[in-house]
Amino acid sequence: MAYVAVKGGTRAIEASLLLLRRERNQNEGRPAALIDQVMAEASLYAENVAELAVGQAEGSPEEAVFLLRAFRSTVPRLHTTRVVDPADLWVERRISAAFKDIPGGQLLGATTDYSHRLIEFEDERWSDIETQLNAFSEATFNGVSVDGTYPKVVDYLRQLSLLPQLPLDTSEPGDVTKKSLEFPTKRSERLQILARGQTGAVTALGYASLRGYGALHPTVGELRVGRLPLTVSDPFSGVQGDPEDDHFVGEIRVTEVEMLVPVEIPRGEGRTDLEFDLGYGLCYGRNETKAIAMALLDQVLSASAEGTGLKGPLSDEEFVLLHVDSVEATGFISHLKLPHYVTFQSKLESVRASRKP
């Protein structure tokens, strides 16, 4: 099945493509998407160091992730930030595949989603792009500014009683970088493994979840790309201090996806009702495909942990979580290049002995 670029909203799409060209000009050949991918898989938000790792690895994401994780292991943990609320995200891009009109409106941002996917051998000049963007802004917004935050689509669905209100989980999350994974896992651990999982592996398993096992077609309730502010508590007032005294230490760019997954709920006597379950994905940088796949796998694994959902390899958390890690997978595959003379000779002797009459 193939999909073509969405039709409609012509002026918004034109502006989106202009923003994309401006980003490419600003990056000046810097592999921004690859840097975001490496930071996510290495669990370290450090753009400059990630760029150095990508250069040293000659563009190999697996090697760059290995380098960045090695660097990460040498960095002390000085502070723990306050818990962040995704509702505070300063939005650069925000779309919903579930609704055409959402509270606050759709914000296409800079994206290749509406481009022709053809190589452009000549870049537009910076001045031309800025002139077109300024003209578009004046004609469309007429000087009206946007504060950058938007209401959540899932909150709108909860107000309509189409999604259940869930209690806030304030328990301490696990940390998979400090302790080896034990099964069964907690959801916080599953989300961490998926967030730092190899992008290709997470995408492939997310795709597999759509291709059978009786799954119903999910829908992106909301996809957001933006920056989250990070604060730490005042060292003299402690963790329980007044948040008004917190110190702003920076911001991180993230991609967040909330996936609406229809599920059939048995009601007895052969009758089933259709309800929506929620899958969640959030990872460093601009990495939309991975965040969507992550949300799909989150829903599958969460349903399996609750004893519901579909059966199959993707409902086995050991199968999924132990095979998506970039360093683990690359290291084990790559070690096959190392000398195995002794073990191979042993196997060879066994083969020879089995052929003796």
pLDDT > 70: percent of the chain: 90
Residue 239 has pLDDT above 80, yes or no: no
Residue 6 has pLDDT above 70, yes or no: no
Rounded CA separation 294/195 (Å): 7
Task: List CB contacts of 58: < 8 A, sequence separation 6 or more.
Answer: none
**Which of 25-39, 233-247, 311-325 has the weakest average pLDDT?**
233-247
Quote the pLDDT of residue 40: 97
Quote the pLDDT of residue 160: 84
Q: Dig out the tokens for 258 from the structure.
A: 């909330």
Quote the pLDDT of residue 116: 86
Quote the pLDDT of residue 137: 58
6-20: buried (b, 16+ CB within 10 Å) or exposed (e) per residue?
eeeeeebbebbbbbb
pLDDT tens digits, residue range 157-175? Answer: 888 888 888 888 888 888 9
pLDDT tens digits, residue range 260-281? Answer: 998 887 777 778 888 889 999 9
Q: Could you tell me which of 239, 245, 287 has the C-alpha nearest to residue 83?
A: 239
**Which of 141-155, 241-255, 326-340, 342-356 has the weakest average pLDDT?**
141-155
Residue 214 has pLDDT above 60, yes or no: no
Give the containing element (helix H, strand E) for 40.
helix 32-42
Quote the pLDDT of residue 149: 82
Quote the pLDDT of residue 142: 40
150-181: buried (b, 16+ CB within 10 Å) or exposed (e) per residue?
bebbbebbeeeeebeeeeeeeeeebebeeeeb
pLDDT tens digits, residue range 112-151? Answer: 998 888 887 776 666 677 777 676 654 444 433 356 788 8
φ and ψ of 224, to 5 deg: -130, 140
pLDDT tens digits, residue range 40-79? Answer: 999 999 999 999 999 999 999 999 999 999 999 999 988 8
pTM (2 decimals)? 0.89
Given a contact cutoff of 8 angstroms between Cβ atoms, the answer to whether 23 and 36 are in contact is no
Rounded CA separation 255/201 (Å): 18
Quote the pLDDT of residue 52: 97
pLDDT tens digits, residue range 297-313? Answer: 999 999 988 887 777 88
Q: Does residue 184 have a cis peptide bond before it, meaning omega lies within 30 degrees of 0?
A: yes
Task: List CB contacts of 6: < 8 A, sequence separation 6 or more.
Answer: 13, 113, 114
Quote the pLDDT of residue 139: 45
* Averaged pLDDT score across all residues of the chain: 87
pLDDT > 90: percent of the chain: 51
| H-only helix segments in 83-147 | 126-140
